[in-house]
């Protein structure tokens, strides 16, 4: 968590390979992946969502899922020129949409979905490749309270074997979904602690509005 400009999305770009760190390393399951590009990291299990939906709006929901499944399977990527329509990926896509409660929207163009449904679909695409690490960049941004609760339910359904890193301004949502909270400001980590730690709540208030965390609280959070 942290205010705009804290460096949260920059951190995601470093983790996914969009940016190269000026110092330090990026490791995945004890393997140094710092010099790996985006596609190689994705193929090894790093997936992400974005602040703004990153979908193929003229294609159907089903087609978007098929493309996500294809991108996660090296054998399919090597034969990308082959028509996907006849592949088993459509069966897998239907199963995935059913599992996530979007079967009724399967044949609908993405542009016809509500914004909340688009955010749900983006989550489905992100988990299609069964990632080891899932980076969620403000998954509830712009959603109503009911839609936010739906996103929380979907995230809570993810397997415990998937490590989730969440960027979120909503403290209540962050606490509901997180075991550990890291607070950032001006490109630095200000503190890390358990989500239910009062010192972390005070530190969040401090970096957002400048009140609520005295020096003792900040030291405890660090």
Number of neighbours of residue 99 by Cβ within 10 angstroms: 12
- The answer to whether 189 touches 213, Cβ cutoff 8 Å, is no
Nearest to 127 by CA among 207, 192, 47: 47
* Residue 81 pLDDT grade (very low, low, confident, very high; cuts 50, 70, 90): very low
**pLDDT confidence of residue 75:** 52
Q: Which residue has the higher pLDDT, 166 or 175?
A: 166
* Residue 12 pLDDT grade (very low, low, confident, very high; cuts 50, 70, 90): very high
d(CA 6, CA 11): 10
Looking at residue 57, what DSSP letter applies?
T
Nearest to 62 by CA among 139, 128, 114, 115: 128
- pLDDT tens for 170-202 read 878 888 889 999 999 999 999 999 988 888 888
d(CA 79, CA 181): 42
Prediction pTM value:
0.80
**pLDDT confidence of residue 84:** 55
- pLDDT tens for 87-143 read 788 899 999 999 888 999 999 999 999 998 998 999 999 888 889 999 999 888 888
Domains, the chain, ordered by start: 8-178 (3.40.50.300)
- The answer to whether 133 touches 139, Cβ cutoff 8 Å, is no
**pLDDT confidence of residue 96:** 92
Q: Which residue has the higher pLDDT, 76 or 171?
A: 171
- The answer to whether 132 touches 28, Cβ cutoff 8 Å, is yes
| Helical spans, DSSP H, in 56-197 | 61-71, 74-78, 89-99, 115-127, 145-156, 171-177
């Amino acid at each position: 968590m942290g205010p705009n400009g804290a460096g949260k999305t920059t951190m995601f770009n470093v983790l996914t390979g969009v940016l190269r760190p000026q110092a330090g390393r990026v490791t995945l399951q004890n393997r140094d992946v710092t010099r790996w590009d985006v596609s190689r990291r994705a193929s090894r299990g790093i997936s992400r969502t974005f602040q703004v939906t990153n979908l193929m709006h003229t294609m159907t929901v089903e087609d978007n899922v098929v493309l996500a499944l294809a991108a996660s399977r090296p054998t399919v990527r090597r034969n990308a020129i082959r028509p996907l329509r006849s592949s088993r990926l459509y069966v897998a896509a239907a199963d995935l949409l059913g599992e996530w409660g979007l079967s009724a929207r399967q044949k609908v163009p993405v542009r016809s979905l509500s914004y909340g449904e688009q955010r749900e679909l983006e989550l489905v695409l992100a988990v299609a490749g069964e990632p080891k690490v899932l980076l969620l960049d403000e998954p509830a941004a712009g959603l109503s309270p009911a839609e936010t609760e739906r996103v929380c339910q979907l995230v809570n359904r993810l397997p415990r074997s998937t490590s989730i890193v969440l960027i979120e301004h909503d403290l209540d949502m962050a606490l509901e979904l997180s075991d550990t909270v890291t607070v950032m400001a001006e490109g630095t980590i200000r503190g890390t602690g358990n989500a239910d730690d009062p010192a972390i709540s005070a530190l969040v208030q401090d970096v957002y509005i400048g009140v609520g965390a005295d020096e003792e609280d900040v030291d405890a959070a660090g």
